[in-house]
Structure 1
Amino acid sequence: MSQPIASSTTASPFQGAIGVFDSGVGGLSVLRAIRAALPHEHLVYVADSGHAPYGDQSEAHITQRTLTVGNWLAEQGVKGITIACNTATVVAAKTLREQTHLPVVAIEPAIKPAVALTRSGVVGVLATRQTVQSAAVAKLVELYGADKRILLQGCPGLVEQVERADLHSAETESLVRQFITPLLEQGADTLVLGCTHYPFLRDTIQRVAGEVVTLLDPAEAVARELVRRLTDNGSLTTQTELGSVRFFTSGDMAQVQHAVTHLWGDSAQVEPLASNR
């Protein structure tokens, strides 16, 4: 298990940057929202693709990876950490918060706003198996879904399609149709994108679900919460030039570079995470 996390007190490579991480490239959907909300901040993104997908791992492994990546970001001198992974949030966000003095902002499935929006009273939640089976999601359903039907749908295979940047193939659409059709047949008119990889499949999901179905992605809400937290503690940057964005991965460099280039842009250059991470 990783040692407790402490804020860096010496000059570090990314002093004052914001750290963002996910099990892979899906968290780029959250990074994009953060970039739009805080264009002058320096950002450091970690795709822990060497240990993905988190949704198929044990809780102990997910916690260990969350603390390992959190440790690394803290050692680099970041001023805050964003968990851009629903699975890591529901399994390990509490532990990470207990082990660092840094502000930790985490994403979670948007069940509360979905309940407020549904017209049919039926909400579908698309997520990894670990997320839909978690106590944290069960608590969200209990808190907000008392008079609604909340249908939890694990979606094995979708993360891997996004990791390969395979967003529009017949195989990807077939998987999406397999997971969504049972929800639609039960009357779901609102679908929660409960994994940060899934917004990259939004066009396919919307086409399969139909335009009358509302899709919810909480990335912008995460960015707003990050702005609030950094404003409250007075740590927003005062610089006026555009901030930098650095990308790191624990996974296969060529595969992650291909995916990041496709999902973020040609200017993105992926660097290897330290081998002991």
Structure 2
Amino acid sequence: MTTARSAGAPVGVYDSGVGGLSVLRHIRAQLPNEHLMYFADSGHAPYGDKTEAYVVERALIVADFLLRQGMKAFVVACNTATVAAIKAVRAKYPALPVVGVEPGLKPAAAATRNGKVGVLATARTLKGEKFLQLREQISEATRAEFLLQPAVGLVDEIEKGDLQAPAIHAMLEKYVAPLLEQGADTLVLGCTHYPFVQDGIERVLRAHDRDDIALIDTGDAVARQLGRLLAAGELLRQDGGATLRGYTTGEATALEHAFANLLDLHPPVEKVDV
């Protein structure tokens, strides 16, 4: 399939669910003229407990669907899908600008004062070959120690939409506290869902008298890289009046509520069967 190369074409943003909306927020702020399509693969989520082959298959299916809608660039706004599938996406669509997200190990290594960095992510991300290679590379270069903490079930709770739920607070305490006990002074939010519970994470830090912890969210860096790729390909849209629409393999009302509750946006949302 040929890829759209028009500057007026939309950018596709993809996640297993609503977590990628945290990346979409940065893209809208930095690239306000771009038409955007957001794809939530909620009918096949969560990805954290799926095989790598399954995640690769889903990423390729979503990319194909969005290309048929005219996509000019593809943002894989999901840490698990980036780790598992971005190499396959780039191999299948070599002409398509593709931006992935990965846990911010490099900025965290630069930010840490004592060399101990906590990484909060899904189990699938932490077991992925791409992540483990990145950890080894940055560890060797900086001598930073990365303390890995899988946050089992946290994505599922965030997807429910009640960010103040007691279950979320209990999970944050369960997963963040051990990293603090091991001496981490920097915490990587290694899943695009987690910035939406940053307030809850900060409450846990205050409860442990650890207001000095630096939190690393990579959504801003993703938006900057997208801007660089679009500019390099002469694909930046210069005019205003940008549009946004959503697609989901789950329930349309769930994604509509996520747009409204998390970003105060009300774009059209379509349920699709792919």
Structure 1 residues 100-249: aligned runs within 5 Å: 100=93, 101-146=95-140, 147-210=143-206, 211-239=211-239, 241-249=240-248
The equivalent residue for 1:37 is: 30
- SS of structure 1 residue aligned to 2:48: helix
**Displacement of 1:8:** 4.9
- Paired residue type of 1:218: T
Question: In 2, distance between residues paired with 1:220 and 1:270?
Answer: 25
Deviations 1:239-275 (A, max 9, x none): 1x230111110012233322222112252332112x2
- Paired residue type of 1:140: L
* Structure 1 stretches lacking a partner, 5+ long: none
- Paired residue type of 1:27: G
Answer yes or no: is 1:84 the counterpart of 2:77.
yes
1, 4, 7: which one aligns with 2:3: 7
Deviations 1:42-91 (A, max 9, x none): 00000010011111111111000000000011111111000000000010
**Displacement of 1:166:** 1.8
- Paired residue type of 2:50: Q
Contact 2:158 2:168 (C-alpha < 8 Å) held by counterparts: no
The equivalent residue for 1:60 is: 53
Contact 1:41 1:237 (C-alpha < 8 Å) held by counterparts: yes
- SS of structure 2 residue aligned to 1:55: coil
State percent identity of aligned pairs.
Answer: 46
- Paired residue type of 2:116: V
Q: Structure 1 residues 218-227 or 137-146, which shifts more?
A: 137-146
RMSD across aligned positions (CA): 1.6
Contact 2:256 2:266 (C-alpha < 8 Å) held by counterparts: no
Question: In 1, distance between residues paired with 2:25 and 2:118?
Answer: 25
Deviations 1:6-32 (A, max 9, x none): 3159x9xx9611010000000000001
Answer yes or no: is 1:71 the counterpart of 2:70.
no
The equivalent residue for 1:98 is: 91
Contact 1:40 1:237 (C-alpha < 8 Å) held by counterparts: yes
* Structure 2 stretches lacking a partner, 5+ long: none
Question: In 1, distance between residues paired with 2:255 and 2:73?
Answer: 24
- SS of structure 2 residue aligned to 1:145: helix
The equivalent residue for 1:48 is: 41
Deviations 1:75-132 (A, max 9, x none): 1111100000000001000000011121001111000110111012110111111000
- SS of structure 2 residue aligned to 1:195: coil
Question: In 2, distance between residues paired with 1:209 and 1:98?
Answer: 42
**Displacement of 1:168:** 1.2
Calculate the TM-score normalised by the size of structure 2: 0.94
**Displacement of 1:160:** 1.0
**Displacement of 1:198:** 0.3
Question: In 1, distance between residues paired with 2:130 and 2:18?
Answer: 23
Question: In 1, distance between residues paired with 2:8 and 2:51?
Answer: 33
- Paired residue type of 2:43: G
Contact 2:8 2:237 (C-alpha < 8 Å) held by counterparts: no
Calculate the TM-score normalised by the size of structure 1: 0.93
Contact 2:4 2:72 (C-alpha < 8 Å) held by counterparts: no
